[in-house]
Structure 1
Amino acid sequence: MPLVHISLRSGKTAAYRQAIFDGVYGAMRDTFNVPEDDQFMAMTEHDAANFRYGASYLGVSRSDDLVFIQITANNTRTTQQKKALFRRIAERLADSPGLRQEDVFVSLVEVEKENWSLGNGIAQYA
């Protein structure tokens, strides 16, 4: 049950934004065994004054097309699955909407299963 927050500079088309949603979800299905219809995602757009990044931090050349993707998920995946997820997101977003892989920044936040309530005030995974 990943929860995904995506941040990017404003000005992209609806189709571009939808391609990001679809690519991230598809990558999670490919690598994290995320079930069909398990889509809990939000996207925020920021003007230039409210979107900062290191243009060359760790030797990665980033542009203003940079997309931050933060995924909160149960801490049940292996390191290999995490690496596969990062790689697959970058590949899918390069395919559509055409992002440079250098502009795909992913952060994974892992939580214990009991830290979720998916509605009705119930801890469904506890």
Structure 2
Amino acid sequence: MPLVHISLRTGKTQAHRQAIFDSVYRAMRETFNVPEDDQFMTITQHEGADFRYGASYLGVARSDELVFIQITANNTRTVEQKKMLFGRTAELLGESPGIRPEDVFVSLVEVEKENWSRGNGLAQYA
């Protein structure tokens, strides 16, 4: 049951933002076996002065179209599943809404199952 925070520069249309949601969710469904309707995602837009990145860090040529995607999920996936998630996310975002792979930055934060409360003050996975 991942929680996804997406950050990008301001100015993208609603359709563009919805395409990001759809592509990230599809990538998680295909690679992380995320259940249907398990969609807990936000997008935050930032003015240029509030959005900083290394334009060529590790030899990747990033642009102002960069999208930061932070996924918090249970620590139950293999390294291979993580690699598949990263690759599939970049691939699907390239298809829709048309983001270059160089501009897809994904961070995975893994937590123990008991560290979630999905409502009603309960630890549903503990």
If the TM-score is normalised by the length of the shorter chain, which range does it land in? over 0.9
Aligned residues: 126
**What's the TM-score, normalizing by structure 2?**
1.00
Q: C-alpha offsets along residues 71-112 of structure 1, whole Å, 9 cap, x if unaligned? A: 000000000000000000000000000000000000000000
Q: Which amino acid aligns with 2:117?
A: S
Percentage of matched positions with identical amino acids: 79
C-alpha distance in structure 2 between counterparts of 1:43 and 1:93, whole Å: 15
Q: Does 1:100 align with 2:111?
A: no
Question: Secondary structure at 1:89's aligned position in 2?
Answer: helix
TM-fit CA distance, 1:120: 0.4
TM-fit CA distance, 1:39: 0.1
C-alpha distance in structure 1 between counterparts of 2:58 and 2:76, whole Å: 28
C-alpha distance in structure 2 between counterparts of 1:98 and 1:42, whole Å: 19
Superposed CA RMSD in Å reads 0.2
Question: Secondary structure at 2:69's aligned position in 1?
Answer: strand
Gaps of 5+ in 1: none
Question: Secondary structure at 1:85's aligned position in 2?
Answer: helix
C-alpha distance in structure 2 between counterparts of 1:98 and 1:34, whole Å: 24
Counterpart position of 1:111: 111
TM-fit CA distance, 1:56: 0.1
Q: Which amino acid aligns with 1:72?
A: T
**What's the TM-score, normalizing by structure 1?**
1.00
C-alpha distance in structure 1 between counterparts of 2:124 and 2:80, whole Å: 27
Q: Which amino acid aligns with 2:78?
A: T
Gaps of 5+ in 2: none
Q: C-alpha offsets along residues 2-54 of structure 1, whole Å, 9 cap, x if unaligned? A: 00000000000000000000000000000000000000000100000000000
TM-fit CA distance, 1:61: 0.1
